[in-house]
Copies of this chain bind each other. A is one copy, B any other.
Amino acid sequence: MNVDETAPQKGTVTQRAIERIKAMIAEGRLEPGQRLPTERDLAAQLGISRSSMREAIRALTVLGVLEARHGSGIYVTQLEAGDLLETFGVVADLSRGPRLVELLEVRRILESTATAMAAARITPDQLAEVEKHLTAMNATDDPEEILAHDLAFHREIVAAAGNETMAAILEGLSSRTFRARVWRGYQEEGAFTRTRREHAAIHRALVARDPEAARAAAAAHVGEVEEWLRTQLGG
C-alpha cells in the first residue's frame, strides 16, 4: 500500500500541481507574502519535473497568486483584490461584439451603485482629487490626456465607495485598451460636450451628497455609451 497518497492520476501533472499549491494557500499553509521553496525543491516534493513545476508556477503567476523574483525566489502575493482581478482585463481586451455591450451593462450596474455609495461617504480630500481631474479634463483638447483624466476621475470616485473588490473589477472593465477601443468611435461623434455635462452632473451629486442623484447620473453616463454601442452593432 501507498506510504504517501500518490494517487488519483487525474489530469496532467501540471494541473495537479496547480491545484496542490492553490489548496496549500486556501488551507492557510501558505500565507500572503510568504516565500515558497525553490522550483527544484517544489518539483521534488510533488514528485514531478522542474519543467512541469515551472508551468504550474507560471500559470499561478499570471493569475496573480504567485510572484517570481529572478534570483530571489517565489512568493505568494498579498492576495488582494487588485492582484487577483488583474486578469479581469483580459476579458475586456478579448471581448467583441455583443459581449462588449454586456460588459458595459455590468459596468453600469456596478459603477452606478459605487458612485451612489461614494456620494454618501466621500471625504473632502477625495472630493478635491475628483475635482482636480474634472477640471484638468476640461482644460485640454488632447484625447489621450482627456482619457487619462476621465479614467482617474471615475477611479477616484469608485475608490471612495470603499469596496476594493468592486474597484478592482471596475478597473478591469475600464482598462485602457477597452476604453480606447470603444471610446474612439464614440468620441468621434462629438460626444465630448455631452461627456463633460454628464461628468459635471456626477460631480454635483457628489458635492450634494445625494446618493440617488449620483446613481442616476452615473447610470446615464455609462448608459449613453452602452446605447451608442448597441446601435453600432444591432442596426
Cα–Cα distance between A81 and B100 once the two chains are bound (Å): 11
A152 at the interface (CB under 8 A from B): no
Size of A's binding interface in residues, CB under 8 A: 41
From 35 to 86 in chain A, residues with beta carbon under 8 angstroms from any chain B beta carbon are: 51, 54-56, 58-59, 61-63, 65, 79-81, 84-85
* 16 pairs, A vs B, C-beta closer than 8 Å: A18-B62, A22-B90, A51-B51, A54-B55, A55-B58, A58-B59, A59-B61, A63-B63, A81-B99, A84-B94, A85-B91, A102-B164, A109-B110, A109-B113, A109-B166, A110-B110
A26 touches B94 (CB 8 A): yes
A157 to chain B, nearest CB (A): 16
B79 touches A84 (CB 8 A): no
CB-based nearest B residue for A55? B58
A93 at the interface (CB under 8 A from B): yes
A95 at the interface (CB under 8 A from B): yes
Q: Is the interface of A mostly helix, strand, loop or mixed?
A: helix
CB-based nearest B residue for A181? B26
Contact for A166 among B61, B65, B106, CB less than 8 A: B106
Q: A residues bordering B, Cβ < 8 Å?
A: 14, 18, 22, 25-26, 51, 54-56, 58-59, 61-63, 65, 79-81, 84-85, 87-88, 90-91, 93-95, 99, 102-103, 105-106, 109-110, 113, 163-166, 169, 177
Task: Specify which chain B residues have a CB less than 8 angstroms from the CB of A65 in the assembled complex.
Answer: 90, 94
A94 touches B165 (CB 8 A): no
Task: Specify which chain B residues have a CB less than 8 angstroms from the CB of A51 in the assembled complex.
Answer: 51, 54
Task: Specify which chain B residues have a CB less than 8 angstroms from the CB of A113 in the assembled complex.
Answer: 109
Cα–Cα distance between A105 and B81 once the two chains are bound (Å): 14
Task: Specify which chain B residues have a CB less than 8 angstroms from the CB of A84 in the assembled complex.
Answer: 90-91, 94-95
Contact for A163 among B81, B105, B165, CB less than 8 A: B105
